[in-house]
């Protein structure tokens, strides 16, 4: 992705977004053609920005099949178990087993899908249109990257030779 960003910028098709940790080409570029779209990480924070928007889906929360609000759902877990004792490996494993059992008593149900999720939030920072490969990252390429599907080495070669 960094190399692709560099090529896009050097060809004069987009401006460098460069920065400190991501380097000169590490933040992506704002570019789209018929094959792919790339969007640098957006910092605007505007509610109507499709890259900055957050999930606002509505859920129902249950404890033992009883409807509760979110705060009660969270408090139930915290009051029953407290925090994981991370300093003791054996105690932590025991806590995790207890948490798994406790979580069998809690559940959620999606009630309403928000407009952002209907649009496919989070929108990708990179979208390879022929195969619908979508990649997101946080701030700079490589940080908390997520893909919507696995990509073979052959497909990566195809993407970068066509792009």
In this structure, the answer to whether residues 65 and 108 fall within a common structural domain is yes
Residue 128 has pLDDT above 70, yes or no: yes
CA distances from 44 to 3, 32, 146 (A): 25, 20, 21
In this structure, the answer to whether residues 85 and 126 fall within a common structural domain is no
pLDDT band, very low/low/confident/very high, at 82 (cuts 50, 70, 90): confident
In this structure, the answer to whether residues 77 and 101 fall within a common structural domain is yes
User: What local confidence, expressed as pLDDT, does residue 162 receive?
Assistant: 59
In this structure, the answer to whether residues 26 and 102 fall within a common structural domain is no
In this structure, the answer to whether residues 128 and 88 fall within a common structural domain is no
User: What local confidence, expressed as pLDDT, does residue 41 receive?
Assistant: 86
**Domain hosting residue 28, numbered range:** 2-52+120-162
In this structure, the answer to whether residues 32 and 63 fall within a common structural domain is no
In this structure, the answer to whether residues 13 and 28 fall within a common structural domain is yes
78-82, 107-111, 115-119, 136-140, range with the lowest pLDDT? 115-119
DSSP 8-state assignment for residue 148: S
What per-residue string of b and e applies to 25-34 under the rule 16 or more CB within 10 Å gives b?
bbbbbebeee
DSSP 8-state assignment for residue 118: H
User: Residue for token digits 């992705």?
Assistant: 1
Last residue of a domain, one of 112, 130, 148: 112
| Phi then psi dihedrals of residue 112, to 5 deg | -145, 130
Task: Provide CB contacts within 8 A for 82, sequence distance 6+.
Answer: none
In this structure, the answer to whether residues 130 and 100 fall within a common structural domain is no
Residue 19 has pLDDT above 80, yes or no: no
Read off the pLDDT of each residue in 27-47 and give the average, rounded to a whole number: 89
How many independent structural domains does the chain possess?
2
Residue 126 has pLDDT above 90, yes or no: yes
In this structure, the answer to whether residues 38 and 12 fall within a common structural domain is yes
In this structure, the answer to whether residues 64 and 143 fall within a common structural domain is no
Residue 163 has pLDDT above 70, yes or no: no
In this structure, the answer to whether residues 124 and 150 fall within a common structural domain is yes
Residue 122 has pLDDT above 90, yes or no: no
């Amino acid at each position: 992705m960094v190399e692709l960003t560099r090529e896009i910028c050097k060809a004069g098709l987009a401006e460098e977004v460069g920065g400190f940790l991501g380097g000169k080409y590490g933040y992506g570029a704002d570019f789209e053609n018929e094959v792919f779209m790339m969007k640098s990480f957006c910092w605007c924070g505007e509610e109507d920005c499709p890259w900055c928007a957050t999930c606002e889906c509505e859920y129902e929360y249950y404890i033992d099949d009883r409807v509760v609000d979110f705060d009660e759902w969270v408090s139930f877990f915290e009051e029953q178990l407290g925090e994981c004792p991370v300093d003791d490996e054996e105690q932590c494993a025991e806590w995790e087993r207890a948490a798994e059992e406790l979580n069998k008593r809690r559940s959620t149900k999606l009630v309403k899908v928000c407009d952002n999720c209907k649009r496919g939030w989070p929108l990708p920072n990179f979208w390879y249109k022929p195969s619908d490969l979508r990649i997101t990252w946080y701030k700079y390429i490589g940080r908390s990257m997520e893909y919507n599907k696995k990509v073979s080495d052959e497909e990566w070669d195809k993407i970068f030779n066509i792009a």
